[in-house]
Amino acid sequence: MATIKDIAKLAGVSVTTVSRALNGYSDVNTKTKQRIEEIAKEIEYSPNALARSLVMNKTKTIGLLVSGLSREGAKDNIVFDVLTGINEFCGAEEYDLVLFNTTTSKQKEKTYAQLCRERRVEGVIVQGIKNDDPYLQEIFDSNIPCVLIDVPVESETAGYVTTDNVDGIMKTIRHLAKLGHENIAMVNGHDQAFVSKERFKGFELGMLEAGLTVRNEWVCDGEYSERKAQEEALKLLNTYPEITAFVCASDLMALGVVRAAKELGRKVPDQLSVTGYDDITLASYVTPALTTVAQDCFRMGYAAADLLLSILRQTSGDRVRLIENELKIRNTTKEIK
Amino acid sequence: MATIKDIAKLAGVSVTTVSRALNGYSDVNTKTKQRIEEIAKEIEYSPNALARSLVMNKTKTIGLLVSGLSREGAKDNIVFDVLTGINEFCGAEEYDLVLFNTTTSKQKEKTYAQLCRERRVEGVIVQGIKNDDPYLQEIFDSNIPCVLIDVPVESETAGYVTTDNVDGIMKTIRHLAKLGHENIAMVNGHDQAFVSKERFKGFELGMLEAGLTVRNEWVCDGEYSERKAQEEALKLLNTYPEITAFVCASDLMALGVVRAAKELGRKVPDQLSVTGYDDITLASYVTPALTTVAQDCFRMGYAAADLLLSILRQTSGDRVRLIENELKIRNTTKEIK
DNA sequence: CTGAAAGCGCTAACAT
DNA sequence: ATGTTAGCGCTTTCAG
């Protein structure tokens, strides 16, 4: 593979000159510069990013730590959307992305910091990390620039992007309350996600605002799984048939609840209202289409990359990006009779 | 950031010894080795993969060239599934993935080979490339190890993974024919995808096998888009109401056709049968659930990574991996009355 | 068992 | 405008 040395030899100049010519420095004679460029093209030279990074101490690379990069992640296209957003922004900024492998069994052999430092990524975007993951503390301790999705961590070098999850659920409750619902249950996700806490807070606050009471036995953990949500909803509906609406912390779980309702012969939305969260692709395609809180995951990814680069460049002091969400009213919610 | 030099100094040995100790060479005194490892841990040393790669001429990195990494790609989870499969295999083999940015406007500034050589990736997996993309020729010309998804390219250093697209559609036709359908139309995808040709061939062969005639005016191009497929199907159904079944080259297009049918008040599957291809997540969630040819995209990705590494290691001579597909009969196909 | 020295391909002072 | 030199952090002969 051709190097600048080869070019230098062919052009009869020093490697320094070649380096400068190729990197667009002004202090190179126009003719030599031209000659060098021609030769470079001719011998199909391509710069060795490794060598360059080594000496410049900059890799133009950001790392991606993704927990949901598994077979199941395909159903909710969240991970994918975020990834796309990141990719979009990084493309424009000429940063490349490296996907770290954390799916392996030996993920715990290497510490987070090691993973990043080995590859000399300039920063990291972390997605889908659970709040009992040991990496989380490391992220906070290390000084590697980092942006988390939906995990509130703030430091000199770390920030996060999220949506207003409290408000998202509150909007939902308001909508439900306006439709006359009073007996509202919630299917939350597991505790290892920060958003679960927020969404539950939104539930409490929303109920309070509507003058309704939260019954703790009507709040269950669907583990962000369709099947589990279905089971839990089934139990709840059997025990408390007076429930008229379910607020779910994810669309997949809402789908599970709709299944449960169907199983019991309760029509959605006529006899039961159900709401989701996320607005995954399925939400609008399914029948009845899901009323849900839409998160723009693409924008979240885009903003995450933006924030990370601004941390890298120390251009701004803020460490948080809040993305708007929106209640999409579709066909799983209806006025109570 | 700590280097082996630091360790060497602290341990009172040469860098050579440190290097050997850390890389598990046998010819190092056990005690020195232990000391070195302790120090390494203490000062939080992590090896610089850049430097190592530079000297070893191996990066343990494979590149990913993905065309469908855009906002729309989220609907069909194909790209994501393939990615997941690749990631799974590479994780086990300790290879990292770098995502190349081809979405940028300046994608044509850099040639394919440049892109790969700059980052010194050991090989590349290419997905979603269209057959009029100039990169394709470059892939063939260059000697960079490469595996394509669904694009038949074979050379010393290149191979591909795909499914039997001809057979996939033939299975569909067989199914439809058995249900009594004779007036079968096809919504194919655009010409820039290799699979389109295959799927059309499957259509011809299938019809032939069933003793049915292909009417060219009943074959249209849905461009793999839901909306376009809907439009085309609408036209066709208006002009030729005798059509009783649509074979589509993708699930998204099948969804479009179902929409068109609904628009015209034709019930699916009672008054019109529709089949898809891919078995994306939507296919089974939508009502009526789509009869479709399922491709295991996860396995395709997994196989692609497997094939690439075997090319890199020159362990086997085959350059093709064929993944099974399966006709999933659901609720958009029905016996004709 | 250990060290000295060379070199991977490149950039960046510091001359000239 | 160009060249000399040093060095990024690591591995690898080759000598001891």
**Predicted local distance difference test score (pLDDT) of residue B118:** 92
CA count, 13 A, side-chain hemisphere, B243: 27
Is A305's pLDDT higher than 90?
yes
Question: How far apart are alpha carbons B229 and B261 in whole angstroms?
Answer: 11
Protein CB footprint (7 Å) on chain D nucleotides: 1-5, 7-13
Q: CB contact, 8 Å: B283 with chain A?
A: no
Query: Are residues B201 and B263 in contact, defined by beta-carbon separation less than 8 angstroms?
Result: no
A79-117 b/e (C-beta count within 10 Å ≥ 16 → b): bbbbbbbbbbbbbbeebbbbbbbbbbeebeebbbbbbbb
**Predicted local distance difference test score (pLDDT) of residue A303:** 98
- CA A252 to chain B, closest CA, distance in angstroms equals 11
**Predicted local distance difference test score (pLDDT) of residue B68:** 74
**Predicted local distance difference test score (pLDDT) of residue A69:** 79
In DSSP notation, A132-175 reads T-HHHHHHHHS-S-EEEES----SSSEEEEEE-HHHHHHHHHHH
Instruction: Note the Cα A34 to chain centre separation in Å.
Output: 45
Q: Would you place residue B74 in the very low, low, confident or very high pLDDT band (cuts 50, 70, 90)?
A: confident
pLDDT by residue (tens digit) across B267-314? 999 999 999 999 999 999 999 999 999 999 999 999 999 999 999 998
Read off the pLDDT of each residue in B141-145 and give the average, rounded to a whole number: 89
- CA B190 to chain A, closest CA, distance in angstroms equals 24
Read off the pLDDT of each residue in A73-81 and give the average, rounded to a whole number: 89
- A77 closest CB neighbour out of B54, B74, B298: B74
Residue nearest to nucleotide C7 (CA to C1'): B55
**Predicted local distance difference test score (pLDDT) of residue B297:** 96
Q: Give the residues across from A219 on adjacent strands.
A: A186
Q: Would you place residue B107 in the very low, low, confident or very high pLDDT band (cuts 50, 70, 90)?
A: low
Is A210's pLDDT higher than 70?
yes
Protein CB footprint (7 Å) on chain C nucleotides: 1-5, 7-13
The number of helices, as runs of H, and strands, as runs of E, in chain B is 13, 12
The two most distant CA atoms of chain A are separated, in Å, by 89
Contact B48 A282 (CB under 8 A): no
Residues 6+ apart with CB under 8 A from A304: A82, A85, A86, A125, A147, A149, A161, A321
**Predicted local distance difference test score (pLDDT) of residue B141:** 86
Contact B91 A114 (CB under 8 A): no
How does the average pLDDT of chain B come out, rounded? 94
More confident residue, A139 or A81: A81
Helix (H) or strand (E) holding A266: none
Pairing of strands A325-328, B96-99: unpaired
Q: Is the dihedral of CA A104, A106, A107, A113 positive or negative?
A: negative
Read off the pLDDT of each residue in B147-171 and give the average, rounded to a whole number: 96
Chain A residue closest in CA terms to B255? A285
pTM over 0.85: yes
Q: How far is CA B42 from CA A138, B2, B35, B38, B70, in A?
A: 16, 10, 10, 6, 44
Q: Would you place residue A105 in the very low, low, confident or very high pLDDT band (cuts 50, 70, 90)?
A: low
Is A70's pLDDT higher than 90?
no
Q: Is the dihedral of CA A318, A320, A321, A324 positive or negative?
A: negative
Question: How far apart are alpha carbons B141 and B112 in whole angstroms?
Answer: 10
Task: Output the six-digit token pair for B116.
Answer: 């790969």
Is A262's pLDDT higher than 90?
yes
Portion 40-59 of B in contact with A at CB < 8 A: 44, 46-51, 53-54, 59
**Predicted local distance difference test score (pLDDT) of residue B105:** 57
Q: Would you place residue A67 in the very low, low, confident or very high pLDDT band (cuts 50, 70, 90)?
A: confident
Chain A residue closest in CA terms to B286? A286
Read off the pLDDT of each residue in A170-182 and give the average, rounded to a whole number: 98
Q: What is the DSSP letter of A290?
A: P
Is A103's pLDDT higher than 80?
no
Question: How far apart are alpha carbons A42 and A44 in whole angstroms?
Answer: 5
Rank A69-83, A225-239, B129-143 by mean pLDDT and report only the highest: A225-239
Contact B50 A287 (CB under 8 A): no
Question: How far apart are alpha carbons B226 and A202 in whole angstroms?
Answer: 37
Q: Would you place residue B29 in the very low, low, confident or very high pLDDT band (cuts 50, 70, 90)?
A: very high
Share of chain A above pLDDT 90, in %: 82
Is A76's pLDDT higher than 80?
yes
Q: CB contact, 8 Å: A74 with chain B?
A: yes
Question: How far apart are alpha carbons B117 and B140 in whole angstroms?
Answer: 15
CB pairs < 8 Å spanning A and B: 141
Contacting residues of A for B285, CB less than 8 Å apart = 255, 282, 285-286
**Predicted local distance difference test score (pLDDT) of residue A132:** 87
Task: Output the six-digit token pair for B15.
Answer: 């860098």
Is A15's pLDDT higher than 90?
yes
Portion 77-96 of A in contact with B at CB < 8 A: 77, 79-81, 83-84, 87-88, 90-92, 94-96
Read off the pLDDT of each residue in A163-190 and give the average, rounded to a whole number: 98
- CA A66 to chain B, closest CA, distance in angstroms equals 11
Question: How far apart are alpha carbons A22 and B63 in whole angstroms?
Answer: 25
Residue with tokens 């809402």: A254
Read off the pLDDT of each residue in A284-309 and give the average, rounded to a whole number: 97
Residue with tokens 């995450």: A304
Name which of A252, A292, A300 is nearest A276 in CA terms: A292
Query: Are residues B300 and B163 in contact, defined by beta-carbon separation less than 8 angstroms?
Result: yes
Read off the pLDDT of each residue in B27-48 and give the average, rounded to a whole number: 94
The distance (Å) linking the CA of B48 with the C1' of C16 is: 36
Q: Determine whether the distance from the CB of A19 to the nearest atom of strand D is below 7 Å.
A: no
Nucleotide in closest CA–C1' contact with B27: C1
Query: Are residues A107 and A138 in contact, defined by beta-carbon separation less than 8 angstroms?
Result: no
Contact B286 A281 (CB under 8 A): no
Q: Would you place residue B53 in the very low, low, confident or very high pLDDT band (cuts 50, 70, 90)?
A: very high
Query: Are residues A116 and A63 in contact, defined by beta-carbon separation less than 8 angstroms?
Result: yes
What letter represents residue A141's amino acid? D
Share of chain B above pLDDT 90, in %: 82
